[in-house]
Amino acid sequence: MKADNLSKTMLFKEMTPEEINSALRELSSVEKKYKKGSRILHAGRTTERMGLVLEGSVTIESNDIWGNRTILSHVGEGQFFAETYSLLPNEPLLVDVNANEDCRILSLRIGILHSYSSEIWAGKLTSNLLMISSNKNLNLSRRAFHTSPKTIRGRVMAYLNSVSLKQDANEFDIPFDRQQLADYLNVERTALSKELAKMQDDGIICYRKNHFIIDFE
């Protein structure tokens, strides 16, 4: 991966190509491709590496022993995952990371960053990691807000409203298919589909697959 392209991501923001190349070298960067549906990181295991999605997307999921799945977040191109666990290498993951589609991932041993604390690139990287962590906390807060309503309609409206606000548009695509949206909102897929149809009949939303229009006339 070229440093010029990586400079557009949050992790390498404000870093020169030379500093990015130093970071990639010293943090033992590895680029790997994954097929849709493959497991990238496993719950119960540990990791020393955080991942940057170069192409495609991944989902962060909680899968219990009874087969129940909850999607906690969607990680798209240019975004990151497992940065907290990579800084705490003895902490087992509580989630799985799965390829949502064919994807290409760059992984970094971010846990050894402290060994380069005197390097300028390391200082910039640390600052960027703090920003990434803050954004992740915000995303977790959003999901709690989306799943707090007691009704399915309330959860759907809370989620679609937040997407609308984030994109500053009343017409948009969401990153989830129907099953994934159900898992994200922690509801049954059949019940979700029925409620979406009712909301469309009531004139609250208009949708086709993952494309939605809200607040339309």
DSSP state of 209: T
Q: Let me know whether 78 and 126 are in one domain.
A: yes
Kindly tell me if the per-residue pLDDT of 98 is higher than 60: yes
Q: Supply the pTM of this predicted model.
A: 0.77
CATH classification at residue 112:
2.60.120.10
What CATH code is carried by the domain that includes residue 179? 1.10.10.10
Provide the pLDDT for residue 1.
Answer: 56
Q: Domain check: are 141 and 110 in the same one?
A: yes
Contact 113, 85 (CB under 8 A): no
Do 26 and 59 lie in a common domain? yes
pLDDT tens sequence across 31-43: 999 999 999 999 9
In the Cβ-directed half-sphere of 136, how many Cα atoms lie within 13 Å?
A: 16
70 and 173 fall within a common domain:
no
Q: Which domain holds residue 48?
A: 3-145
How many independent structural domains does the chain possess?
Answer: 2
Q: Which two tokens stand for residue 100?
A: 């949502």
In terms of domains, do 140 and 184 share one?
A: no
Query: Residues 6 or more apart from 22 whose CB is under 8 A from it?
Result: 119, 121
Q: Render pLDDT for 159-184 as a digit per residue (tens, 0 to 9).
A: 999 999 989 999 999 999 999 999 99
Average pLDDT over residues 20-38: 96
Domain match, 128 and 173 both: no
Provide the Cα torsion 25, 27, 31, 34; round to 10°.
180
Angle at 52 between CA 212 and CA 128, to 5 degrees: 100
Judge whether residue 216 has pLDDT over 60. no
Least confident of 3-12, 49-58, 72-81, 189-198: 3-12
